[in-house]
Structure 1
Amino acid sequence: MTASEFFVPDLCRVRAVFLLLVTSELLVLVLAIVQAEAGWIDWNYFGLLSLFVQWTTLTSAALICLLRSRLARMSIARATLGIVAIVLLDVLAFSLFADSVLHPQPGVAVWQGIAKKQLLALMIVLMVLRYFYLQHQWQQQREAEMQAHLTALQARIQPHFLFNSMNTIASLIAINPDQAEEAVLDLSELFRASLRTGDQLIPLSRELDLCKRYLAIESLRLGDRLTLEWAIQPGLEQQAIPPLTLQPLVENAIYHGIQPRPDGGIVRIEAQTRGNFVYLMVQNPKPDHNNRQHEGNRMALANIRSRLQALFGEPAVLKQSHQNDIYTVTLRLPKQSANAQPASRKRT
């Protein structure tokens, strides 16, 4: 188990420590309310216990942060025991120090108080670790579901698209073998992308290249019925995007907006940056209300939306709109560079 796979969050981060401090302070507040014999809260008890809890929380978090790499190499049981030991020893040290200041001559009551603090610390740390473990398991399940969505999406190259493409290529072999060869290369690249499951994020340039290959094949089949408009802002080549995010939107634009119309229409692909976000838009004529097509389109959008949420969280948005018989799907991504990856063959 690596540090990135460790079920305890990175306590070297300010946000994680802040959440621990807030949670512990709320617990102190509850105990101070329960302890009060008169009024709503025992402020003296609250102040002393708050000081004690905050110091033990900060020092324990610092020790766990320093030992995180070692703890991550242990089994879950041994790592849990190690963290419990760190916290209990820390609580014991601060308890002895505090009681030496407040009670220079410790008695039985003082040792009973220390034992109670140890027991309370044990229960709290076990509950917190249980929460961290469940959160880690939930996150792993979410990532597995996201990977399953990606695999399902990558496997959904429509059979009708394959058959139509093969028929188009077969008809081109006799009259234009060079174009037929180009179409075969484009089709092979599409299938290669559908089998590549290791990448979570790729450069936008690679996804756009895949869209161009798909549209090149469809242009051979649809001919003058398909008109393409590209409006790609320069400088977005390395923008990070999940693989097979834009291509299914373009495929839906062809399948739902162009193919059913005898006169075809225009598909427009646009990419631009605004502030800290990159906006991608795919526009096509408003599709007819066909239940089967509408359901397929909705499933594809839900699939992509869930992957975006898993990778980017709330900043990523996918929405669709209708205006003047134009159907638009807008994708908003946080501005982020993808790791450099081998570029696929560019179309000439």
Structure 2
Amino acid sequence: MTPSKPPAGFGESTLYGSFIPGEEAAPAAPARAGMFDVCHVGVVLRTVLLVEAVVGVGAMFVSENFQDWLLRFSLLTGGVLPATLAWLIAACSLKKYLNPLGASMQWVAGVLLGALSGLYGCAMLAFTGMLKSPPWWASAAAGALLSAIVLAGLFWRAKALTPAATAARLDELQSRIRPHFLFNTLNSAIALVRAEPVKAERVLEDLSELFRSALEDPAESVTLAQEIALAQRYLAIEQVRFGERLRVSWNLDPTADMARLPPLLLQPLVENAVRHGVEPSASGAQLTITTLRRGATVVVKVTNSTPGGAGERGHGLALANVRERLMLLHDVQAQFKTALKDGVFQVRLEIPA
């Protein structure tokens, strides 16, 4: 791991390119969440469990006792499980062709894939000799019905992931820069204009980049490196305000830089650490940001000391929103934990590399 460099100065490369006064950056096109984005462990697991639960309940209607139910359930699973996995593999492989389709065509394609998968499962049971008279039409209908149920869940998941749909719920987190932060930053810049004009210029540049990132159209995800650069700009501004009270340590692993995060996710965690660790303490606080890649997982930690070992209690809205956005993007592959121990508060994220 290597410590990061300080934030870029005026005229240097910024988070989204060089900042030139008077030049407007083209807004990034918002990413569109797809209905067939099933290439996630959580989606696969829930789909398999749902189908198996439906099969298990259905087997109860024709079973005389537990042993009979277990035999029928095992028999049906031999066809249903491969059919379900075939549907998931097909949907994952064809998503770049299916996601651009209109909503109606997506439903038709998904249901047809389900019918074909049902026929595939029936064919497997017939091929192994487990079915003397294969119920082809019933298998196709069952596959179509189960795929429609799964598609309904995927539809609402895609809707939740769409930036336009989540904008209202995430407004508190992405409600741009807090007014008192803007007021304090401008006061700091004004105080530096005559004594240290270059430093004042850098503060205003960092502030403009924060606003640009907050106001542009949201993408589904950005790299960890981008989030770190944005957090560095925020802390550079707060460093001017708090001086020696804000002590920052960066322990960054370059191999973790390409991990994906929802936009504007790390900066609120850093801001939360400043607000509850540095602001209420006359002596300030130590803030540490750590990234580390461990195989296929990237660990991100934001740690801050707290005044009197307790810190200032907040409402937890920022942390709750961060947790929700992280789970929307990475599902069960992400972990979000907080802990307060021995006067040190830590937020720990685990995301796919």
Q: TM-score, normalised by structure 1?
A: 0.68
Mapped to 2, the partners of 1:42 and 1:204 lie a distance apart of 50
Q: Which residue of 2 aligns with 1:208?
A: 228
Aligned position for 1:279: 299
Deviates more, 1:71-80 or 1:190-199: 71-80
Unmatched 5+ residue regions in structure 1?
Answer: 103-112, 337-348
**Contact 2:114–2:144 (Cα < 8 Å) also in 1:** yes
* Matching residue within 328, 332, 335 for 2:346: 328
Preserved CA contact (<8 Å) 1:165 1:217: yes
Letter in 2 for 1:224: E
Equivalent residue number for residue 314 of structure 2? 295
Q: How does 1:226-245 map to 2 (within 5 A)?
A: 226-245=246-265
Name the SS of the counterpart of 2:345 in structure 1. strand
How far apart are residue 87 of structure 1 and its match?
7.7
Instruction: State the AA in 1 paired with 2:330.
Output: F
**Pairs aligned (count):** 309
Q: Tell me which of 49, 63, 72 is aligned to 1:33.
A: 63
Q: Give 1:209 shift.
A: 1.4
Q: Which has the higher helix share?
A: 1
1:54 aligned partner: 79
RMSD: 4.7
Aligned residues of 1:190 and 1:213 also touching (Cα < 8 A): yes
Q: Work out the percentage of aligned pairs sharing the same amino acid.
A: 30
Q: Do residues 268 (structure 1) and 288 (structure 2) align?
A: yes
Offset, 1:322: 2.1
Say whether residues 1:259 and 2:279 are aligned partners: yes
After TM superposition, the runs of 4+ consecutive aligned structure 1 residues lying more than 3 A away are 4-10, 13-32, 39-43, 57-62, 64-74, 76-94, 117-123, 144-152, 287-291
CA contact (8 A) 2:161 2:220 kept: no
Structure 1 residues 317 and 83: alpha-carbon distance in aligned structure 2, compared to 1, 3 A threshold: closer
Residue 255 of structure 2: SS of its match in structure 1?
coil
Within-5 A mapping of 1:172-183 = 172-183=192-203
AA at the equivalent of 1:129: S
Unpaired runs of 5+ residues, structure 2, are 1-32
CA distance in 1, matches of 2:75, 2:119: 19
How has the CA–CA distance of structure 1 residues 232 and 169 changed in structure 2, closer, same or farther, with 3 Å as cutoff?
A: same
Structure 1 89/42 Cα, relative in aligned 2: closer, same or farther at 3 Å?
A: closer
1:309 aligns with 2:327: yes
- 8 Å contact kept, 1:271–1:279: yes
Structure 1 CA distance for aligned equivalents of residues 321 and 44 of structure 2: 33
2:25 is matched with none
1:162 corresponds, among 182, 189, 197, to: 182
**2:331 is aligned with what amino acid?**
G
Change (3 A) 1:120 1:251: same
| Equivalent residues of 2:299, 2:349 under 8 A apart | yes
Deviation (angstroms), 1:176: 1.4
Highest RCO, 1 vs 2 (Cα 8 Å, sep ≥ 6): 2
What is the one-letter code of the residue matched to 1:250? V
CA 132–200 in structure 1, closer or farther in 2 if over 3 Å, else same: same
Q: How does 1:5-154 map to 2 (within 5 A)?
A: 5-6=34-35, 26=56, 29-30=59-60, 33=63, 41=68, 50=75, 54=79, 58=83, 65=90, 73=101, 75=105, 78-79=108-109, 82=112, 117=135, 120-121=138-139, 124-144=142-162, 146=166, 148-154=168-174
Given residue 282 of structure 1, which amino acid in structure 2 is its aligned partner? V
Q: 1:190 to 1:205 in 2, by over 3 A?
A: same
* 1:29–1:159 distance in 2 versus 1, CA, 3 Å: same
Structure 2 length as normaliser, TM-score?
0.67
Q: What is the CA-CA distance between 1:255 and the residue it aligns to?
A: 1.1
Query: Following the alignment from structure 1 to structure 2, what is the Cα–Cα distance between the partners of residues 228 and 155?
Result: 25
CA contact (8 A) 2:107 2:151 kept: no
1:198 to 208, 218, 226: 218
- Could you tell me how far apart the structure 1 residues matched to 2:122 and 2:304 are? 68
Give the direction of change, closer, same or farther, for the CA distance of 1:134–1:285 in structure 2 (3 Å limit): same
Shift of 1:157: 1.6
C-alpha distance in 1 between matches for 2:342 and 2:114: 64
Instruction: Determine the C-alpha separation between the residues in 2 that align with 1:168 and 1:59.
Output: 60
In 1, the alpha carbon distance for the partners of 2:244 and 2:301 equals: 23
Structure 1 residues 137, 240: CA separation in 2 closer, same or farther (over 3 Å shift)? closer
Q: Secondary structure at the match of 2:173?
A: helix
The alpha-carbon deviation at position 306 of structure 1 amounts to 0.8
